Structure 1
Amino acid sequence: MRKASRLFEIIQILRLATRPVTAAQIAGRLEVTPRSIYRDIVALQAMRVPIEGGRGIGYILRPGFDLPPLMFSIEETEAIVLALALLQRTGDSALRKAAETVSDKIAGAMPAPLRQVLSTDAIYAWGSVMPEPDGIDLAMVRAAIRDEQKLHITYTDEQNRATERTVRPIALIYYSAHSVMVAWCELRHGLRNFRADRVTRGTATGEHFTGEGDGLRKLWVDGWEINKNKFMQ
């Protein structure tokens, strides 16, 4: 086990302990030598993690000390690093900015020596970056989904035909090349997928469809099963 991983695990063990835990007990759980644990305890104390105790009597976290909730394992942290990197490839500038602040908050909640996990260049999300749509703000779409607010859009289909529509957005799908808004279309009286890059204009109407979102999403998901069964027959 790498040292950074051990430091995470030692903190978690001491957080959950109801009595002093000896270096030998910690070493047994982490499959290392007690000598390694002694060195790790010293390193954590140098990071100002308030661990008290000593050899023979065990170690505890100082009473009243509350570690930040963002103490992830190494693999959990790497998963977050990759997820944030993938967000940088979307055409949603608000989400990209949010990804940067999330990374800063996580880094700020970690002891300095462990912060290097977030800044490492060992994990990448490769590929082209999705262009941001010109006609509609994806942050507005996400807000409309949360608030169950109708949108008015001007949409151009594959045949270059433009239509004016009032829609009830229920989901937003991010593909590698473009994003798609799933919505109930009042013009077509059914669920439709709208590519964001084909929306030439989108505005919030101020009208709401309060309480309908979950039912429409269930209808959408049920449609997956119906179509899947058709293909399997």
Structure 2
Amino acid sequence: MRRADRLFDIIQALRVAKAPLTAAELATQLEVTVRTVYRDIATLQARRVPIEGAAGLGYMLRQGFDLPPLMFTLDEIDAILVGAQLIQRTGDPGLQAAARSVLSKVTVALPDHLRHHLDVPPIYVSPFGASVPSSIDLNDVRQAIRSRQKMAIDYIDGDGVETKRIIWPLAVAYFIEATLVCGWCELRQDYRHFRADRIKSGQLLGETYPADDGRLLQDWLTQVGQPQPERMRESSGGKK
């Protein structure tokens, strides 16, 4: 690894760390010696990167520090391409448009000798995926999650049973065969999953659900474990 790349990786590691990182932890991540990390930290501090801490105690990056514009490796460009193409399979037009915007911004940021890699990408992802829901805007669902807004939905399950629900949207789960809206259902007083293509209408309500510092989401994740289709059966009209 080039030293310039290593210095950048140290800054990145410190930016995302939730607690001070010791030189030993950084050395393990970067696969270098602790002595090398000490030298690199000293170099960054000499270049006025606001790294605070000391040997044996750990290091942290002062909040508010921004990196200069990033340069991507070919592997990183491939990762962005695959991710953007996979998003085309989600059935979420809002995210699909955002993915196209990301690719256009990355293209502008690349130098000429790398830009051709995006012009004719050597990457292909099957376009098969979930259908776009016709009666609910997934942008609204994601907005409800961010703002903790309740939603009123009319839902028809796989047996054709229609129910009206008020839900607290917590997450959107994108699978190849379907997109699920996951949340707390006031009718069932439990977590439920709703196929987006079976939601016949959805409306953001003015009422917000309680702020809980992420406990509802964590409780849901505990119940379903690592989200998998077989663990996330859709809600039905009965009291399942």
Distance 1:113 1:11, change over 3 A: farther
Aligned to 1:100: 100
* CA displacement 1:41-64 (0-9 Å, x = unmatched): xxxxxxxxxxxxxxxxxxxxxxxx
Matched, 1:119 2:116: no
Aligned to 2:152: 152
Quick one: distance in 1 between partners of 2:136 and 2:89? 18
Q: CA deviation at 1:98?
A: 0.6
4+ residue stretches of structure 1 with deviation over 4 A?
9-16
2:160 partner letter: N
Aligned to 2:41: none
* CA displacement 1:173-197 (0-9 Å, x = unmatched): 1111210011100000000010001
**Alignment check: 8 A CA contact 1:182 1:194 kept:** yes
Percent identity between matched residues is 37
Q: CA deviation at 1:108?
A: 0.8
2:74 partner letter: I
Q: CA deviation at 1:71?
A: 0.9
More off after superposition, 69-78 vs 172-181: 69-78
Aligned to 2:85: 85
Distance 1:150 1:113, change over 3 A: same
Q: CA deviation at 1:134?
A: 1.0
Q: CA RMSD in A?
A: 2.9
Quick one: distance in 1 between partners of 2:155 and 2:209? 21
- What count of residue pairs does the alignment treat as equivalent? 172
**Alignment check: 8 A CA contact 1:184 1:192 kept:** yes
**Alignment check: 8 A CA contact 2:88 2:127 kept:** no
Distance 1:213 1:11, change over 3 A: closer
Secondary structure of 1:128's counterpart equals coil
Aligned to 1:134: 134
Distance 1:173 1:213, change over 3 A: farther
Structure 2 unaligned spans of 5+: 10-65, 232-240
* CA displacement 1:91-117 (0-9 Å, x = unmatched): 111111111110011111111221122
Structure 1 unaligned spans of 5+: 1-5, 17-65
**Which has the higher Rg, Structure 1 or Structure 2?**
1
* CA displacement 1:72-95 (0-9 Å, x = unmatched): 221111101100011112211111
Distance 1:106 1:129, change over 3 A: same
